[in-house]
């Protein structure tokens, strides 16, 4: 990642620190004051169990196939497809037939995805 400045900075996803957030699921994140993007790698057989949080979240599938359930409605998303998740909506996800990579956008910034947070 380039040196941060008051105006902004450039980054390469491969250079962002990796953080394991659930068993086998790794996240790389970049953020500003009110917006975060996370690049998530789901290994085959990984699962993000049903949960909810106070953040707005947009998930976009980069590679693979991801099964997503939002408030009881289940969809299978392929590369190029996504889902918008409102705050406090119950949701879960898991890859189908192999690993998947996704890009999530968040606001406000979920502190727990920052690499220096537990």
**What are the pLDDT digits (tens) for 78-97?**
999 999 999 999 999 999 99
Identify the pLDDT of residue 1. Answer: 52
Confidence label for 67 from pLDDT (cuts 50, 70 and 90): very high
How many Å apart are CA 109 and CA 92, to the nearest integer?
20
Q: Which domains does the chain show, CATH number per domain? A: 25-113 (2.60.120.10)
How many Å apart are CA 12 and CA 3, to the nearest integer?
12
Identify the pLDDT of residue 48. Answer: 96
Facing residues of 5 across strands? none
Q: What pLDDT, in 10s, does the model give residues 69-81?
A: 999 999 999 999 9
Q: What pLDDT, in 10s, does the model give residues 19-44?
A: 999 989 999 999 999 999 999 999 99
Q: Residues with Cβ < 8 Å from 84, sequence gap 6 or more?
A: 56, 57, 58
In the DSSP assignment, the letter for residue 2 is: P
Number of C-beta neighbours around residue 36 at 10 A:
21
């Amino acid at each position: 990642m380039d040196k941060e400045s008051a105006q902004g900075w450039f980054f390469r996803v491969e250079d962002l620190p990796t953080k394991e957030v659930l068993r086998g699921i790794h996240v790389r994140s970049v953020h500003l004051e009110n917006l975060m993007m996370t690049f998530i790698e789901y290994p085959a057989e990984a699962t993000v169990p049903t949960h909810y949080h106070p953040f707005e979240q947009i998930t976009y599938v980069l590679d693979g196939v991801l099964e997503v359930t939002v408030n009881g409605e289940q969809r299978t998303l392929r590369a190029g497809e996504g889902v918008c998740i409102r705050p406090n909506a119950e949701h879960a996800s898991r890859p189908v037939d192999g690993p998947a990579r996704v890009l999530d956008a968040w606001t406000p910034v979920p502190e727990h995805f920052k690499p220096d947070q537990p």
